[in-house]
Amino acid sequence: MRTWLLLMLALTSVSGGRRVSGQNDSQEREFGELTELGKVLRKCLDQSFSERKTLAQCLRNHKDAEGRSARKEGKRRRKSFKWKKMNLRKKVKCGEMYFLRAGEMKVFRLRPRMGVCSTLVQAVGETELVMNCKTFNLSACRKEYFFVSHQKFEKQYCRNKGPGKIAGLVTLYLLYERAKKSKDRSRIWCSIKAVERSGCNEGGSISDTQVPGCDNVCGRAPESAGVNRIVGGQEAEVGEYPWMARLEIRSGDLTSYCGGSIVTATHVITAGHCVDEVNTDVIVTAGKHDIQLDQENNTQVFKAKQILRHPQFSATTSENDIALITLLEPLEWTPYVGPICLPPDADFEDRMAIVTGWGSLAFEGPKPSKLNEVAVVVTDQESCKEAYSQSVFLITNNTICAADSGKDACQGDSGGPLVIKENGIWVLIGIVSFGRGCAMEGFPGVYTRVSSYNSWILSSMALGSC
């Protein structure tokens, strides 16, 4: 995150001091040494420049600074950033910064034999950036890479594992570096477009938050799905919730089970507390209904290839309780297996939502063999925060609470979906995280608010598609 913090400091004018991050350095994920731009920014900031004009002058004074390759293949000259507004041409020029207003777009595209190219793009006014990499094909990672950094995530891409579509960005930093000895023909075509910002009160477009192609298939379910019928619930119909997945988590001699939500043919979302990225094997079963039956005609079973837990997940406070599972092989869409849509940015307060799972029917009670469903109501954030004010688990803007008399998720439902029907399409608004007991009066169930992590989810799914 170091590169991102420096970029944000460079873009922000703060009277009387600098804006700093509240994160601990020990929690930050490092991505190698700073680029030359980062070094220059740090040097300028250390000289106590706080106004953009002065900072820009400092950067211009360092325009002859030489960049370095992340693979130590020798030094190359890199252009300094030119602080000016966007011109009429859509193609990104290396070393320039652009300020985009709603409807304006830039395109990052590789030129033949390009060695090093970086750009910085900033949304202006009530807008946000959407980056969509429709073409991405690089050679071996030791020869070249594409680095993407923004306010919630930073990652290095290579081969044909590009960033895909990322929405909800404020500032975006892109860096491409290539080793001189590489003769492979590389291709990158990424558009960066400024769109009207979708606030919580305004809702948002469901299609803007999906992996490319998923908005045509996600969130489809039988008409019977979501009827007002886990704790206080009842058995779901076969195939009623095609995005429901069951996770078998093996760590040494221990085996546990969690729920999950299918979001692409190769990705399942679950709770961070369900999985560990080290020494853990996960087997994902889709299309399952009765867990007592070893074989069901509608099931698909695949092992996890990768487990990615949110880098700021806290087992102590349950903050950032989300993880992304990448499957070894892609799922096949059937009437019993299909993806759920990622949600728009909205609060959903007082709306009815559905929780599904194979968890206990009462606190420390028996568990059903068949998938159960229950309808709950999204509660207001302040009353939920007050209910858990004495708990070590935190209620933040990244959580969403839901409850109804005698209805709740319970043990064994962790990681499962909280879904709601939005404009005729089902969307994943929450992930079962924690609660006090099960259906205890005055203590609603707490879920990870998925919309807070849309950018992280989309950034993490390098090759996700429907």
Query: Is 215 within the bounds of a domain?
Result: no
pLDDT tens profile 341-357: 999 888 899 999 999 99
Q: Label residue 263 by pLDDT band (50, 70, 90).
A: very high
Residue 416 or 154, more confident: 416
89 has a pLDDT exceeding 70:
no
Do 131 and 187 share a structural domain? yes
3-state SS, the chain, equals CHHHHHHHHHHCCCCCCCCCCCCCHHHCCCCCCCCHHHHHHHHHHHCCCCCHHHHHHHHHHCCCCEEECCCCCCEEECCCCEECCCCCCCECCCCEEEEECCCCEEEEECCCCCCEEEEEEEECCCEEEEEEEEEEECCCCCCEEEEEECCCCEEEECCCCCCCEEEEECEEEEEEEECCCCCCCCEEEEEEEEEECCCCCCCCCHHHHCCCCHHHCCCCCCCCCCCCCCECCEECCCCCCCCEEEEEEEECCEEEEEEEEEEECCEEEECHHHCCCCCCEEEEEECCCECCCCCCCCCEEEEEEEEEECCCCCCCCCCCCCEEEEECCCCCCECCECCCECCCCCCCCCCEEEEEECCCCCCCCCCCCECEEEEEEECCHHHHHHHCCCCCCCCCCCEEEEEECCEECCCCCCCCEEEEEECCEEEEEEEEEECCCCCCCCCCEEEEEHHHHHHHHHHHCCCCCC
- Which of 175, 197, 219 is a domain's end point? 197
Q: Which residues are catalytic?
A: 273, 321, 414
pLDDT tens profile 317-339: 999 999 999 999 999 999 999 99
Do 363 and 277 share a structural domain? no
pLDDT tens profile 372-395: 999 999 999 999 999 999 999 989
Do 71 and 17 share a structural domain? yes
Please tell me the distance from the alpha carbon of residue 198 to that of residue 213, in angstroms, as a whole number. Answer: 21
How many structural domains comprise the chain? 3
Query: Is 212 within the bounds of a domain?
Result: no
What is the rounded average pLDDT of the residues 420-446? 92
CATH code for the domain of 389: 2.40.10.10
Do 9 and 101 share a structural domain? yes
Least confident of 80-84, 230-234, 350-354, 411-415: 80-84
Residue 196 or 303, more confident: 303
Do 403 and 321 share a structural domain? no
- Which of 197, 229, 264 is a domain's end point? 197
Do 101 and 16 share a structural domain? yes
- Which of 173, 197, 221 is a domain's end point? 197
Q: Label residue 22 by pLDDT band (50, 70, 90).
A: very low
Do 101 and 90 share a structural domain? yes
Query: Is 225 within the bounds of a domain?
Result: no
Do 122 and 11 share a structural domain? yes
29 has a pLDDT exceeding 80:
no
What integer best gives the mean pLDDT of the chain?
77
Q: Label residue 408 by pLDDT band (50, 70, 90).
A: confident
Q: Label residue 32 by pLDDT band (50, 70, 90).
A: very low
Do 29 and 154 share a structural domain? yes
Q: Which pLDDT score, from 0 to 100, does residue 280 have?
A: 81
Query: Is 233 within the bounds of a domain?
Result: no
Query: Is 205 within the bounds of a domain?
Result: no
Do 391 and 245 share a structural domain? no
Query: Is 372 within the bounds of a domain?
Result: yes
Q: Which pLDDT score, from 0 to 100, does residue 17 have?
A: 28
Q: Which pLDDT score, from 0 to 100, does residue 43 have?
A: 54
Do 329 and 282 share a structural domain? yes
Do 58 and 189 share a structural domain? yes
pLDDT tens profile 102-141: 999 999 998 777 788 989 998 888 888 888 888 898 887 7
Domain, as residue range, for 391: 340-453
Q: Which pLDDT score, from 0 to 100, does residue 367 have?
A: 83
Query: Is 32 within the bounds of a domain?
Result: yes
